[in-house]
Amino acid sequence: MVAPLRWAQMTTQVVRAGQEDWAAVRDIRLRALSDAPEAFASRLSDERDRPESVWRDRLSSSDASTFLALDDGDAVGLVTAYRDPDEHTRAHLVSLWVSPDRRGHGVATALTEAVLRWAQLAEIRTVGLWVTETNDAARRLYERCGFADSGARQPLPSHPHLQEMAMHREITE
Ligand SMILES: CC(C)(COP(=O)(O)OP(=O)(O)OC[C@H]1O[C@@H](n2cnc3c(N)ncnc32)[C@H](O)[C@@H]1OP(=O)(O)O)[C@@H](O)C(=O)NCCC(=O)NCCS
């Protein structure tokens, strides 16, 4: 559990999701893909038809972590990080999304910080991610959280007319 963020009369908590949270994770992931399709490599149609077992498997892996931001129990934000299967001191941050009515209050920052703390505990040295080049809000957020442009570019798999850029952040002791 990560320290709660408080604003107005609402309290947002960042929690690590377990297998039992698979339906809430699926629901918010589908909302994210529907709200911001050009921010993600996966398509809504890829994720929508996956069976329960796939969601549970993702949440039970010891080499991955999914965090939910909860407002009074309702999921309003999501992020996942997983260890690179070939390079064990490297992890990837994916699927970051915050509900539009909760943006601008530090929820994504809190989710990203949760990933960075998880990475440190997991003895990860570098966290990498891909962000659509035109996604200024996400780029600014990542820069503020210490990520830098890695230089690599590739077409966004879900929308190949867009370019995504690689960013990375070193994890220090
Ligand atoms: C990108 C995204 C995740 C940012 O989420 P967010 O919760 O609004 O992010 P944060 O609040 O942590 O930071 C965003 C802004 O709020 C500001 N902010 C942070 N804490 C704040 C607070 N307590 N009060 C007011 N504003 C605050 C930040 O300064 C930042 O402003 P800036 O970007 O103009 O510099 C969100 O816009 C989103 O889900 N977009 C669609 C999906 C997406 O692009 N995902 C990234 C895929 S790579």
Side-chain-side CA neighbours of 70 within 13 Å: the count stands at 18
pLDDT tens track, the chain, 173 positions? 566 776 555 689 999 999 999 999 999 999 999 999 999 999 999 999 999 999 999 999 999 999 999 999 999 999 999 999 999 999 999 999 999 999 999 999 999 999 999 999 999 999 999 999 999 999 999 999 999 999 999 999 999 999 999 999 999 87
Atom of ligand 1 nearest to the CA of 32: 42
What's residue 52's pLDDT? 97
Alpha-carbon distance of 123 to 23, in angstroms, equals 29
Per domain, the residue ranges of the chain are 5-170
* Cβ–Cβ under 8 Å, residues 87 and 53: no
Alpha-carbon distance of 38 to 169, in angstroms, equals 23
Query: In this structure, are residues 128 and 167 in contact, taking their beta carbons and an 8 Å threshold?
Result: yes
How many angstroms is it from 2 CA to the middle of ligand 1? 18
Residue with CA closest to ligand 1 atom 23: 105
**Among the four given CATH numbers 3.30.1360.30, 3.40.630.30, 3.90.1260.10, 3.20.20.140, the one describing domain 5-170:** 3.40.630.30
Nearest CA to ligand 1 atom 25: 105
Determine whether the shortest distance from the Cβ of 24 to ligand 1 is under 6 A: no
In the reported structure, the alpha carbon of residue 53 is separated from the centroid of ligand 1 by a whole-number distance in angstroms of 32
List all residues 6 or more positions away from 100 whose beta carbon is below 8 Å from its beta carbon: 35
List of residues 6+ apart from 83 with CB closer than 8 A: 63, 64, 90, 91, 122, 124
Nearest CA to ligand 1 atom 2: 138
What are the strands, taking DSSP E only, across 99-158?
126-132, 148-156
pTM: 0.93
Which of 28, 70, 97 maximizes ligand 1 atoms within 8 Å of its Cβ, making it the mutation to test the pocket? 97
